[in-house]
Amino acid sequence: MLGPFLETLIGGLLTGVLYSLVALGFVLIFKASGVFNFAQGAMVLFAALTVARLTDEIDGKALGLEHFVIAAAVLGAALALVGWYAWREYVARGSGPGERRRLALLAAGGALIGGVIAFAYGKGAWPLWVALAATASIMGLLAYAIERLVLRHLVNQEGIILFMATLGIANFLDGFGQTLWGSDIYTINLGLPKDPIFLFEGVFPGGLLIDPAELFAAGIAAVLVVVLAVFFQKTRVGRALRAVADDHAAAQSVGIPLNTIWLIVWTVAGLVALAAGVIWGAKLGVQFSISLIALKALPVLILGGFTSVPGAIIGGLIIGAGEKLSEIFLAPILVQAFDLAGGGIENWFAYMLALIFLLFRPQGLFGERIIERV
Amino acid sequence: MLYREAGQFKTDYAADQQIFPILQDRIFVFGVIAAAFAIVPAIASEYLYTEILIPFLILSLAAIGLNILVGYCGQVSLGTGGFMAVGAYAAYNLWLRVPEANNLVVVFLFGGLMAAAVGILFGLPSLRIKGFYLAVATLASQFFLDWLFARVKWLTNYTPSGSVAVGDLHVFGWRIDGPADRYLLILGMVVVATIVAKNLVRGHIGRSWMAIRDMDIAAEIIGFRPLRTKLLAFAVSSFFIGVAGAMWGFLRLGSWEPLAFDINRSFQILFMVIIGGLGSLVGSFMGAAFIVLTPVLLNQLPGWLGVNMSTAMISHLEFMVFGAMIVFFLIVEPHGLARLWAVAKEKLRLWPFPH
């Protein structure tokens, strides 16, 4: 009994790490800008699709011309819009070095996107590290476009309006990613060993079965968390981020540029999405359903607290383990007792678990205490 | 020029308290309703009924329900689809198991009442949890209810995968058969429900909801009981949503499975409420019209332009255009179409001589 239990527990914890990765992206953005970013799942899908498509070696899957034309039209329109804003600022503020640098960066970004797409629609397959680097830059540009085209126009709006805007972004990204890269199911090959490893064969009969890809994912997540923690606590930018999270107006009044901070946060969230997308993609294949894992990360979020990085990690572990354990051990009992047509309780179990936690701690496990005054 | 209220004096309390104090508003609204009852059935085609008018009316009702909760009481809910499913399956079970109750009005009201009961149950956490935490918590109801109707066999009469079908529908001896009958029944119920909703939100109950929305602690201090007020909002909202869900199942789909009420339905209705305008009933109708019409137009557009496109491509484009339009609308007018409507009316009052 102990063997299967431990195996399920470890499997659940490792899946939980992946939930944490997605939840991390949510937390970062919520902490720094108070935006409940529903587009995180779409960003994961977009990043995964980009990497998969760039490393894909099968040129038989080449997309039709209409994909290329529409993607180019959308990109061109977005670039023109961003460029027009940048140009207007350039004219208004004169030609400071900052403005010139920004225009140059934009031009470089446009060239990069053009190059990547031209190449991707050709035949070549890129080595993984080049594809990762290119995707990382694309996520940065995406963050810039979102900040420039959406967030900046919605400053000071209520939380729900910003939330709806991110739903719109999510819709857009889902459609755009599939227009750009097609909606086939791709695979990402990280070159990891496929065979499961057995641990503790001496302790339990048969040992414990563990997927090396999940161990690898756990390693990545751990590294990411440490890096983010150091970034938030020890660097200048991290301090600025925490200041913005605390109080927008006060942060602005001591000279922290809000727009830059948002750009940084969305870029970091994009990079986290890239990590999550690559790992999920390697595990399950890259397909549309990946953008739905955002929904799996939400209970993690309320369990751990919207504003806590460690909360996202611990919450992810609890949810992952709880989900798997409930499916294996609780579902059969429920099926027997109520004559159900199958289990599948993991879809809602995480939410119920989080809800019960919330009844006792409304701010989540590690969230900041909510103090209300009239 | 035409839209003037000068000279329309309110000489008694009844005149002051009517829903449309301005004569032109009254004429316009009654004209629209009369046209919907009398002229539309004379000219509408089957496509217009089943693809546009019926979905528009039913989803408007659901949007009104959600608007009561989100717009008037300030409790963000993402569980609309689940409550619609409760309404639909409760109505189905009554229709199936109690043959004497084969009267759609009774069946729909039962669906609404069941949804209200479930809504109260899932509204309980709102006393403890607020804001986005609550929004995510209401997702629990969505996923739980989805699962419930897919797995508990009794609720779906032991059909595989929870797909059920209805037929032979009556209302007080009137047999509901073609799309025109269904349209008229829905229209009648939506008009009644809208009047009820309007009177709820402009009266004492609506005021208490708005007080809770604007600041719940302050509302509690001046004497509104949060427990009663919030749960009432959940109940009323779920009632409307449940009736809409039952109508969606019985009159729009005819046969359905839990997938018809999944999370996307919840988001769709939330979009309607936000794009239409939070805290506005006319906004709910506008939002529903926008959300129902946009995909129809986007589907037709490539054909009109003579461009040949694969269906997958069209669906991707739909996603993109839809997302971009939502963002665009939020930027241009965060208070929704209802605000644009109000601004237009304000302009019209001074037209053609604005000062």
Note the pLDDT of residue B160: 75
Cβ A179–B215 below 8 Å, yes or no?
A: no
Section B12-23 average pLDDT: 88
Distance, in Å, from the CA atom of A320 to the CA atom of B269, rounded to the nearest integer, reads 30
In which band, very low, low, confident or very high, does the pLDDT at B296 lie, cut at 50, 70 and 90?
confident
Q: Quick one: pLDDT band at residue A366, thresholds 50, 70, 90?
A: confident
HSE, side-chain direction, 13 A CA sphere, residue B133: 26
Instruction: Examine the pLDDT at A123 and tell me if it is beyond 70.
Output: no
Structure tokens at A337: 């007792």
pLDDT at B306 over 90: no
Q: C-alpha dihedral over B278, B282, B283, B285, to 10 degrees?
A: 130
CA–CA dist A127, A131 (Å, integer): 6
pLDDT of residue B152: 84
Please give the DSSP secondary-structure letter assigned to residue A121: T
Classify burial at B336, counting beta carbons within 10 Å of its beta carbon; exposed 0-12, middle 13-18, buried 19 or more: buried
> Rounded distance, CA B219 to CA B205, Å?
13
Q: Within 10 Å of residue A151's Cβ, how many Cβ atoms? A: 22
Residue-wise DSSP of B211-269: HHHH-HHHHHHTT--HHHHHHHHHHHHHHHHHHHHHHIIIIIISEE-GGGGSHHHHHHH
Tell me, yes or no, whether A41 lies in a domain. yes
Chain B nearest C-alpha distance from A52 (Å): 19
Look up residue B48 and give its two tokens.
Answer: 């217009």
What's residue A200's pLDDT? 64
Question: Is A206 among the domain residues?
Answer: yes
How close is the nearest chain A Cα to the Cα of B135, in Å?
10
Mind listing the pLDDT tens digit for each residue in B196-236? 999 999 999 999 999 999 988 899 999 999 999 999 999 99
As a whole-number percent, the residues of chain A with pLDDT over 70 amount to 87
Which residue did the predictor score with more confidence, A366 or A51? A51
Residue A203: pLDDT band (50, 70, 90) is low
Residue A139 domain-assigned? yes
**Which whole number is the average pLDDT over B72-82?**
92
The mean per-residue pLDDT over the stretch A76-85 comes to 83
| Gyration radius (Cα) of chain B, Å | 21
Residues 6 or more apart whose Cβ sits within 8 Å of residue A50:
A131, A134, A135, A138, A177, A180, A181
Under an 8 A CB cutoff, do A362 and B221 touch? Answer: no
Q: Is there a contact between B143 and A348 if contact means CB atoms under 8 Å apart?
A: yes
What are chain B's domains? 47-350 (1.10.3470)
Chain B partners of A168 at a C-beta cutoff of 8 Å? 322-327, 330
Q: Could you give the C-alpha distances from A126 to A135, A188, A273, A279, B117, in angstroms and in order?
A: 12, 12, 20, 18, 57
Q: What are phi and psi of B272, to 5 degrees?
A: -60, -45
Q: What is the pLDDT of residues A173-182, one digit of tens each?
A: 988 888 888 7
Enter the DSSP assignment of A292: G
- Separation in Å, CA of A350 to nearest CA in chain B: 8
In the prediction, which pLDDT does A60 show?
Answer: 47
A-B contacts (CB, under 8 Å)? 162
Would you say residue A346 lies in a domain? no
Helix, strand, coil share (%) of chain A residues, nearest 5 = 75, 0, 20
Q: Are B185 and B176 in contact (CB under 8 A)?
A: yes
What angle do the packed helices B179-201 and B104-123 form, to 10 degrees? 40
Kindly write down the DSSP assignment for every residue of A242-287, as one continuous string: HHHHH-HHHHHHTT--HHHHHHHHHHHHHHHHHHHHHHHHHHH-B-
Q: Nearest CA to CA, how far is A224 from chain B (Å)?
A: 25
Q: What average pLDDT does the segment A134-138 reach?
A: 89
Does the structure show a pLDDT above 50 at B21?
yes
Backbone phi, psi, residue A285, to 5°: 90, 150
Instruction: Please state, in angstroms and rounded to a whole number, the distance separating the CA atoms of residues A368 and A305.
Output: 8
Measured CA distances, A146 to A98, A228, B317 (Å): 20, 22, 19
Pick from A175, A372, A374: which is nearest to B319 by CB? A175
Q: Centre a 10 Å sphere on the Cβ of residue A277 and count the other Cβ atoms it contains.
A: 31
How far is C-alpha A340 from the geometric centre of its chain's CA atoms? Answer: 35
Report d(CA B150, CA B162) in Å as an integer. Answer: 5
Average pLDDT value over all residues in chain A: 80
pLDDT of residue B37: 92
The residue type at A233: Q
- Tell which wins on pLDDT, A87 or B58: B58
Q: Which chain B residues have a beta carbon less than 8 Å from that of A174?
A: 319, 323
Give the torsion sign (CA, A144, A149, A153, A158): negative
The residue-averaged pLDDT of B122-149 equals: 86
Compute the mean pLDDT over every residue in chain B, rounded to the nearest whole number: 90
Residue A89 counted as domain residue:
no
Structural domains in chain A (count): 1
B104, B164 Cβ separation under 8 angstroms: no
Cβ distance B151 to A344 less than 8 Å, yes or no, reads yes
Using only C-alpha atoms, chain A has a radius of gyration, in whole angstroms, of 22
Q: Helix, strand, coil proportions of chain B in percent (round to 5)?
A: 75, 5, 20
Query: Distance between CA A303 and CA A87 in Å, rounded?
Result: 45
With beta carbons under 8 A apart, name residues in chain B contacting A170: 323
Range of the domain at A229: 37-62+123-294
Q: What is the pLDDT of residues B41-70, one digit of tens each?
A: 888 888 889 889 999 999 999 999 999 999
Q: What pLDDT, in 10s, does the model give residues A165-175?
A: 998 999 899 88
**How far apart are the C-alpha atoms of B164 and B178, rounded to whole Å?**
20
Query: Ranked by mean pLDDT, which of A140-154, A350-364, B103-117, B308-322 comes out on top?
Result: B103-117
> Using a CB-CB distance cutoff of 8 angstroms, which residues of chain A are in contact with residue B154?
339
Q: What is the pLDDT of residues B235-286, one digit of tens each?
A: 999 999 999 999 999 999 989 988 899 888 999 999 899 889 999 999 999 9
| H helix or E strand, kind and range, residue A209 | strand A208-210
Please say whether the beta carbons of A52 and A115 come within 8 A. Answer: no
Q: Most confidently modeled of A14-28, A303-317, B274-288, B291-305?
A: B274-288
ipTM: 0.83
Which of A172, A148, A150 has the alpha carbon at shortest distance from A161?
A150
Lowest-pLDDT choice from A234-243, A268-277, A364-373: A364-373
The number of angstroms, rounded, from the C-alpha of A127 to the middle of its chain's C-alpha atoms is: 23
- In this prediction, residue B355 carries a pLDDT of 67
- Give the count of alpha carbons within 13 A of A98, CB side only: 4
Percent of chain B whose pLDDT exceeds 70: 99
Per DSSP (E only), the strands in chain B are 164-165, 169-171, 174-176, 255-256
Q: Among A297, A45, A80, A283, which residue's Cα sits nearest to residue A181?
A: A45
The tens digit of pLDDT for each residue in A17-67 reads: 888 888 888 888 887 777 888 898 899 999 998 888 888 765 545 666 777
Asked whether residue A55 is domain-assigned, the answer is: yes
Structure tokens at A346: 């993991």
Using pLDDT thresholds of 50, 70 and 90, give the confidence band for residue A124: low
